[in-house]
Amino acid sequence: MKVFFIGLGLFFSYSFVFAQQKISTREMDRINWMEFADFVPGNINTVLLPTGTLEPHGVINNGADNTAPFAMALAIADELNAMVAPTLNYGITGSMAAYPGAFQISEEAYAPFIRDILRGLAKNKFKNIIILNGHGGGQTAVLQKVAAEVANELGIRTLVINWWSFASDITLEVFKEDGGHAGLNETAYIQAVDPTLVHKERYNSDLATAYPKPNTWSAVPFPSSIGLYQEGQGYPNFNQAQADEYFKKVNTKVAGFIKEIIRKWDLAGL
């Protein structure tokens, strides 16, 4: 009996030590397969999948729609106890596909590809798949549709977040005005991530056009690489202090929302 209790004590001691071990990286493409098996799904069952595209963004990088959600994922992964999947860098670009350096993936190619990625994440035993989407337009609808279908098909839980829309209140709080595609808010977020991706010397206000009101006009390609949500608002200001504040507040809001959704999923026994 004494030997039994000694063995039991060693088992629980080992389990406690293992549980306290810190994973070496949250990035799925940087972790070793054996360490991955040690943590998923026993200690980690949430994954963050950044999605974006390549398209013009005023005076920030063409890959801003990839840079932003990936940086966000890295910033909040520890708080959410989540892994970070490799970014899906190519997407459904739409009306800016004609600009230099842009890529346009058809819906017919994109939808089955994202479906297989989600199935692959589920196969790797993630229960919560959180898509941090950096690009809107038609891509949002495809992501929402496919994520819902895979969730129902495989009994997992999916959430799609368009961070710039979700954090529109933070934009108004920090900047006291609305933003835009490659506008005040998105440029600030990228500036907080990596100021070298922001080329202020190339900026002038003619790079921006306000998006049309519904049923007024439509132009393809869109005439400017900066699209303002409101006429006269959202021009980049390149203020580093505001950029850093915006980055932190957006990440805090997104992380808090994800935790709340997971809590309610758990509460409902889903």
pLDDT in the model for residue 21: 83
The mean pLDDT value for 38-52 works out to: 98
Q: Reduce the secondary structure of the chain to three states and give it as a string.
A: CHHHHHHHHHHHHHHHHHHHCCCCCCECCCCCHHHHHHHCCCCCCEEEEEECCCCCECCECCCHHHHHHHHHHHHHHHHHCEEECCCECCCCCCCCCCCCCCCCCCHHHHHHHHHHHHHHHHHCCCCEEEEEECCCCHHHHHHHHHHHHHHHHHCCEEEEEEHHHHCHHHHHHHHCCCCEECCHHHHHHHHHHCHHHCCHHHCCHHHEEECCCCCCCCCCCCCCCEEECCCCCCCCCCCHHHHHHHHHHHHHHHHHHHHHHHHHHHHCCC
Q: Does the pLDDT of residue 156 top 60, yes or no?
A: yes
pLDDT in the model for residue 20: 54
pTM assigned to the model: 0.91
User: pLDDT tens digits, residue range 205-262?
Assistant: 999 999 999 999 999 999 999 999 999 999 999 999 999 999 999 999 999 999 999 9
pLDDT in the model for residue 16: 41
User: pLDDT tens digits, residue range 60-116?
Assistant: 999 999 999 999 999 999 999 999 999 999 999 999 999 999 999 999 999 999 999
